[in-house]
Amino acid sequence: MWGIIGTWAMVEEGILLGGRHLSENGSVMDAIEMAVKDVEKNEAYTSVGLGGLPNEAGQVELDAAFMDGKTLSVGAVAGIKDFLHPVSIARSLLDGVFNNFLIGPGAEKYAIENGFERYPMLTQKAKERWETHKLEVEGGLAPYIGHDTVCVVGIDSHKHMATCTSTSGLFYKKEGRVGDSPIPGSGYYVDESIGGAAATGLGEDIMKGCLSYEIVMKMKEMSPQAACEEAVKSFNDKLIERRGKAGDISVVAMNSEGEFGAATNIECFPFVVMTQTRGLMKFEVNQKGEIKSC
């Protein structure tokens, strides 16, 4: 029973590619990478890869991660500039005993030494958006608008599970700022004996609850849908109680049976799933846990 789930509507084409690969007995590692690469290379998606959201200094700094649910290996990069597919660099870091998570210039040096080519990631449109927004921020608008990380979790017909993420992080973030997306346990986690989960939203808040790990542990006892809802609701309530507010949090999960779930604390969180038995499905979930197909 294979399956693949991803965050936001922009992942639809990628999920279709990954799902087709799984349907042909392909590996989950390739399927999820394929899905995320499809989003990374698409300039129309302004929060991941090419055309991604620039930081305060007008540079596109990218974070990405990959986790293998069989070996529990993690590969990740953060604050990397000018590579088209950060997710592939993250995947290539899975196997070492050391040096699995590289940042900034060190990550870029590693990427070049390992055959990844430089690619200019600041598009003209992103530059123009940054220039307009800079003026708005100077005029008093809150700086950190816009965020949509692509996260994918999957299982193949050999019951192998994996997950990966890729993002340009928050628009207008400080240089060097890293969110939850490359951090294991926070932005993603997978243990194929249980399942996998991944998160999108305000990294600073998602990290406070190690939400992806929390959801995977909950899936030992309950369905992916119940695990996502419980984790998001209880953590959202805790943040409000302790800090007076909670940032945006949206999550997806899939268990070792290929069952899936999603939850959010925002009005509408779109996600896309494809499974062996049900084909391609597009959904939206709201903060009440109501899911509708679209």
R_g of the chain, CA atoms, integer Å: 18
- The answer to whether 147 contacts ligand SD4 (rule: CB under 6 A) is yes
* Residue closest to 93 by CA, chosen among 104, 101, 83, 81: 101
Site stretch for ligand SD4 (CB under 6 A), options 15-23, 110-118, 195-203, 265-273: 195-203
Q: Which of 167, 256, 265, 287 binds ligand SD4 (CB under 6 A)?
A: 167
- The answer to whether 181 contacts ligand SD4 (rule: CB under 6 A) is yes
What does the per-residue mask of binding to ligand SD4 show for 253-282, with x meaning CB under 6 A? Answer: ------------------------------
| CA angle (120, 146, 264) in 5-degree steps | 125
Output 186 or 275, the one with its CB closest to ligand SD4.
186
- The answer to whether 186 contacts ligand SD4 (rule: CB under 6 A) is no
- Which CA distances in Å does 197 have to 188, 200, 266? 6, 11, 18
Output 51 or 203, the one with its CB closest to ligand SD4.
203
Measure CA 148 to chain center.
8
Output 12 or 180, the one with its CB closest to ligand SD4.
180
- The answer to whether 208 contacts ligand SD4 (rule: CB under 6 A) is no
- The answer to whether 179 contacts ligand SD4 (rule: CB under 6 A) is yes
Output 47 or 256, the one with its CB closest to ligand SD4.
47
Cβ neighbours around 201 below 10 Å, total: 26
Distance between CA atoms of 118 and 62, rounded to whole angstroms?
13
Output 14 or 203, the one with its CB closest to ligand SD4.
203
Q: Which of 88, 149, 163, 212 binds ligand SD4 (CB under 6 A)?
A: 149
Site stretch for ligand SD4 (CB under 6 A), options 52-60, 84-92, 141-149, 218-226: 141-149
Q: 46 an active-site residue?
A: no
Q: Which of 52, 185, 203, 261 binds ligand SD4 (CB under 6 A)?
A: 203
Q: Which of 180, 191, 214, 229 binds ligand SD4 (CB under 6 A)?
A: 180
Output 47 or 88, the one with its CB closest to ligand SD4.
47
Kindly state the number of chain residues that form the binding site for ligand SD4, as judged by CB under 6 A: 13
DSSP string covering 110-167, please?
Answer: HHHHTTPPB-----HHHHHHHHHHHHHHHTT--S------EEEEEE-TT--EEEEEEE
Query: Which of the residues are catalytic?
Result: 149
- Which residues of the shown chain bind ligand SD4 in the complex (CB under 6 A)? 147-149, 167, 169-170, 179-181, 200-203
